[in-house]
Amino acid sequence: MASLQINKRLIMTPGPVAADPRVSQAMSNSILGQFDPEFTGIMDETMELIRKSFKTENKWSFPIDGTSRAGIEAVIASIVEPGDKVLVPIIGRFGYLVTELVERAGGVVHTIEAPMGEVIPEDDIIEKMDEVQPKVLAIIHGETSSGRLQPIQKIGHAAKERGIFTVVDAVATYMGQDIPVDEWALDAVIGGAQKCLSVPSGITPITFNERFSNEINKRKRVEKGIRTENDKSTSHFITSNYLDLTQLQDYWGERRLNHHTEATVNVYGLYEGLKLAVAEGVEARARRHSYHHEAMKEGIKALGLELFGDEEHEMQMVVCVKIPEGINDAEFRAELLSRFGIEIAGTFGAAAGKIWRIGTMGYVAEKQNLLNFITTFGVFLQSQNADNIDPAAGLKAMTDFYDNNSL
Amino acid sequence: MASLQINKRLIMTPGPVAADPRVSQAMSNSILGQFDPEFTGIMDETMELIRKSFKTENKWSFPIDGTSRAGIEAVIASIVEPGDKVLVPIIGRFGYLVTELVERAGGVVHTIEAPMGEVIPEDDIIEKMDEVQPKVLAIIHGETSSGRLQPIQKIGHAAKERGIFTVVDAVATYMGQDIPVDEWALDAVIGGAQKCLSVPSGITPITFNERFSNEINKRKRVEKGIRTENDKSTSHFITSNYLDLTQLQDYWGERRLNHHTEATVNVYGLYEGLKLAVAEGVEARARRHSYHHEAMKEGIKALGLELFGDEEHEMQMVVCVKIPEGINDAEFRAELLSRFGIEIAGTFGAAAGKIWRIGTMGYVAEKQNLLNFITTFGVFLQSQNADNIDPAAGLKAMTDFYDNNSL
């Protein structure tokens, strides 16, 4: 029986991207029992690494055993009770996802929207907070569907002054941009594994502070079968057991109360990926992402393509580019993938079919990958009769950038 | 920076157990995008392998990206609406877990219980069904907390005749005992990865039939941001988005509608583990589990230990044994682990501190492991002054079993 053998890809999307091979190596280690002291030691170290990654003192910094949206749902479902007002600023698809999660938790959604490609000024959000007076502000940091970086430096503080909880979906920017959680006064933040951290999808680091913890613990209910006489119960419990953050606190905290069977090798992968990222340094890693992002933009523009969206508020790991006239989105991408092993992404919503998203995330954000990409992408675009494409100019602009700028 | 290096263990618990190294190898393959045809091909093949593993024709046979309890919650949360009556037979902790999941979904729990170590006759459950007239019967096949195998051959048919949906938690028995889903008329069944299948925890195969699918699709709601005009919505939607089986059908089915970012390497692992298990054969694998289970029992009894529970209804991969007088449960297990790298399990609930559970699951269920185990376990027990322990007799009984019985 042949064993699984995957063909190589150059994944230039906003994720999932290639895993760092050192992460894959770590994931091939043998299984430990979930209460084996060697494993709980790794759990504790992973929590400390998550704290460092978010520059936070938050005790409660641990991963959810699920993909990014499991992390977002865990946070939303734990803080939002039926009838709670939640303000959701929307600049693309992932804002809608958050409204969906709020509604499923029984919350009442209020929105403030900007068209795809734009962001919402923080002062407008603060004004809207005053108008709506929500319990929670839930906001996307890097809206990958449009490649925009929503400013959030001020709103955490503004929300805190107003007694509002700030929840930030930082799945796409995590470990690619600096997210100083405590400095920005964010109450709960969700990171992502399979993007700038370059760890396989399936585990999601989150962090939340004491204020947030106190609030969700009003809903705490320890499950039957392991509940003791000392455990209070409540009728307004969190409706998920798997994603109940208060039970996960008992599992990741000192009590080590049995919950799910921890996803051992995903933890190994997260642990190793975070060790590598923290060793590189959060700021250094952010600089590396910006650096290659600029290189990509120079190359793309010189190819003859037009960028999409507000250039003042770009995620530093996704270039959004208008699809040239005469090129079919899906067909082009399918052929680029099947013929050259290179993957780029389309998008969702209003801009679907109109833009491509080219990612330079984590392990992929490296000079040789970008040079290989710009050449093949440019030549193939030209061969498909896109107008005014100049592959040589694209490559030259990129090499010029690398020659003239150092990391 | 040193890379992660885990010390070797012999995990003789009811899971998580060692992963098959061929599975670990498969998981070290490089990442593919989730809509890459090479990856969707693997997704389709994985579905087919899950069908074979459950001996079912169910179209809807796919994994949940989370640990076993995520799979159970996905099924319960999708079928149980607020106010729905659910009958839960309880013979141990995992029955309580199901009652918890039902309550969190808003369901009304009815139970029929037996003391730990016993099972409930199927006729009693059928009688209780007639009394309660529930919408759903949710039952544990292998109750690992007591090592008992609950008979379920008849109740699926009985439930179907009564218009009741049967949900089976087969996490612990999956791929270690035969579970012919269609033959037993089970509507939805949840398997487990990290036990007899020997795939790392973090992904959970499930299967459900058309009748179940039709019922849950009454609650279907496609999320905002990707919803089209043709997608109906409803006010009694499933409260989880991540574990909403109807959205997962659109993701794993022909529509390939974006949902979460599939846990790529967990799928690789599941795919490879299932290929290995199906190549071995479902019945052959069940025979292998019974065979080593018998060997373990012979060894344990000859050591001088007493078995726990109804021997007529044993899971064929867990031996439950009474902890000898004078031995402290937690201390003994901790020392067995730290000094010899061998892990066995205690339990939960009424039997906690009174029994050990010794597992022989999947890749671990192999002669050399059992021989190594019985020797070290016996000698160490004796050294801790347990009365009347005879390590030589334990080893002899086990080798005699292997000499006199072939697989």
Residues 6 or more apart whose CB falls under 8 angstroms from that of A21 comprise none
Interface test with A, best of B199, B241, B331 (most A CBs within 10 A): B241
pLDDT grade for A240, boundaries at 50, 70 and 90 = very high
User: Which residues in chain A have their CB less than 8 angstroms from residue B77's CB?
Assistant: 239-240
Average pLDDT on A241-268 reads: 96
pLDDT confidence bin for B233, thresholds 50/70/90: confident
Selected residues 153-192 of chain B with any CB under 8 Å from a CB in chain A: none
pLDDT (average), residues B312-333: 97
Whole-number pLDDT of residue A232: 78
The answer to whether residue B247 neighbours chain A at the CB level (below 8 Å) is: no
A251 closest CA partner among A237, A241, A238, A266: A241
C-alpha closest to that of A310 among A129, A95, A92, A156? A92
pLDDT recorded at residue A134: 98
Chain A nearest C-alpha distance from B215 (Å):
19
CA dist list (Å): B255 to B213, B326, B371, B376: 16, 61, 51, 54
pLDDT category of residue A303 using cuts at 50, 70 and 90: very high
Among candidates A3, A42, A237 on the partner chain, residue whose Cβ is nearest the Cβ of B25: A3
Strand partners, B165: B136
- Go through the domains of chain A in sequence order and give each one's CATH number: 20-278 (3.40.640.10), 283-404 (3.90.1150.10)
Q: What percent of chain B has pLDDT over 70?
A: 100
Q: What angle do CA A137, A142, A145 make, to 5 degrees?
A: 110
Mean pLDDT of chain B: 97
- Cβ within 8 Å, pair B6-A242: no
Using a pLDDT cut of 90, give the percent of chain A over it.
94
How big is chain B, counted in residues?
Answer: 407
Q: What's the average model confidence in pLDDT over B228-251?
A: 92
Angle between helices A391-404 and A282-303 (to 10 degrees): 150
Of A101, A258, A343, the CB nearest to B36: A343
pLDDT for the residue A231: 86
A357 is in an annotated binding site: yes
Beta strand pairing call for A148-149 and A60-64 = unpaired
Q: What is the pLDDT of residue A95?
A: 97
Q: Write down the pLDDT at residue A64.
A: 98
| Neighbouring C-alpha atoms within 13 Å toward the C-beta of A310 | 16
Q: Is the peptide bond before B151 cis (omega within 30 degrees of 0)?
A: no
What are the beta bridge partners of residue A307? Answer: A321
pLDDT grade, residue B227 (50/70/90)?
A: confident
Q: Are strands A188-190 and A165-169 parallel, antiparallel or unpaired?
A: parallel
B405 touches chain A (CB under 8 A): no
Q: What is the pLDDT of residue B82?
A: 97
Any CB–CB contact under 8 A between A73 and chain B?
A: yes
Percent of chain B clearing pLDDT 90 (strictly above): 94
CA atoms within 13 A on the CB side of A96: 18
B111 close contact with A: CB closer than 8 A: no
* Cβ atoms A356, A320 nearer than 8 A: yes
The amino acid occupying position A367 is K
Q: Which 8-state DSSP code applies to residue B218?
A: G
Residue of A nearest to B234 (CA): A104
In this complex, the residue of A9, A263, A348 whose CB is nearest that of residue B202 is A263
Mean pLDDT of B182-192: 98
CB contact under 8 A, B29 and A4: yes
Determine contact: B353 vs chain A, CB below 8 A. Answer: no
pLDDT value of position A354: 97
A113: closest CA among A133, A130, A94, A134? A94
pLDDT grade for B74, boundaries at 50, 70 and 90 = very high
The confidence band for A230, taking pLDDT boundaries of 50, 70 and 90, is confident
The pLDDT, as a whole number, for residue A97 is 96
Q: How many CB atoms lie within 10 A of CB A229?
A: 4
* Residue B36 pLDDT grade (very low, low, confident, very high; cuts 50, 70, 90): very high
Inter-chain residue contact A9 with B18, CB threshold 8 Å: no
Q: What would the mean pLDDT of B270-288 be, rounded to a whole number?
A: 98
Nearest CA-CA distance, residue A143 and chain B, Å? 13
Q: For residue range B92-119, what is the model confidence (pLDDT) as tens digits?
A: 999 999 999 999 999 999 999 999 999 9
Chain A contact set for B334 (CB, 8 A): 37
Per residue in B334-371, is it b (16+ CB within 10 Å) or e — as a string? eebbeebebbbbbbbeebeeebbbbbbbbbbbeeebbb
Residues of A with CB below 8 A from B34's CB? 16
Establish if A223 touches chain B: CB-CB under 8 angstroms.
yes
- How many inter-chain contacts (A to B, CB under 8 Å) are there? 271
Cβ-based contacts of A18 with chain B (< 8 Å): 30-31
Does B349 lie at the interface with A, CB-CB under 8 angstroms?
Answer: yes
B314 close contact with A: CB closer than 8 A = no
Cα–Cα distance between B2 and A404 in angstroms, integer? Answer: 35
**Cβ(A51)–Cβ(A63) below 8 Å:** no
Write down the pLDDT at residue B344. Answer: 98
The residues in B 357-386 lying below 8 A from A, measured between CB atoms, are none
pTM: 0.97
Contact A265 B99 (CB under 8 A): no
Give B100's contacts in chain A (Cβ within 8 Å).
223-225, 241
CB contact under 8 A, A67 and B260: yes
- In A276-305, the residues whose Cβ lies within 8 Å of chain B are 276, 279
pLDDT top residue among B347 and B229: B347
Q: Which residue of B has its CA nearest to A17?
A: B31
- Kindly determine whether residue B33 and residue A18, on different chains, have CB atoms separated by under 8 Å: no
Average pLDDT over residues A272-298: 98
For the residues A77-86, what does the mean pLDDT come to?
98
pLDDT class of A226 with cuts at 50, 70, 90: confident
Structure-token pair, residue A47: 């929590």
Tokens 């409660």 locate to A60
Q: Which residues from B are below 8 Å from A279, CB to CB?
A: 1
Residue A406 has pLDDT above 80, yes or no: yes
How confident is the prediction for chain A on average, in pLDDT?
97
- Evaluate whether A341 touches A369 at the Cβ level (below 8 Å): no
Is A16 in Cβ contact with B73 (below 8 Å)?
Answer: no
Paired tokens of B10: 């012999």
Above 90 in pLDDT, residue B229? no
CB B255 within 8 A of CB B262: no
Q: How sure is the predictor about A325, in pLDDT bands with cuts at 50, 70 and 90?
A: very high
Q: What are phi and psi of B297, to 5 degrees?
A: -60, -45
pLDDT higher than 90, residue B385: no
Contact B343 A4 (CB under 8 A): no
- The model's confidence at residue A51, banded by pLDDT at 50, 70 and 90, is very high
Span B53-65, average pLDDT: 98
Q: Which of B16, B223, B348 sits opposite A34 (nearest CB)?
A: B16
Please check whether residue A71 touches B, CB under 8 A.
Answer: no
Residue B137, amino acid: L
- Cβ distance of B30 and A15 shorter than 8 Å: no
Nearest chain A Cα to B265, which residue?
A200
Q: A9 to chain B nearest CA, in Å?
A: 7
Q: What is the enclosing helix (H) or strand (E) of B78? A: helix B68-79
Q: What is the pLDDT of residue B228?
A: 87
Nearest CA in chain B to A236: B104
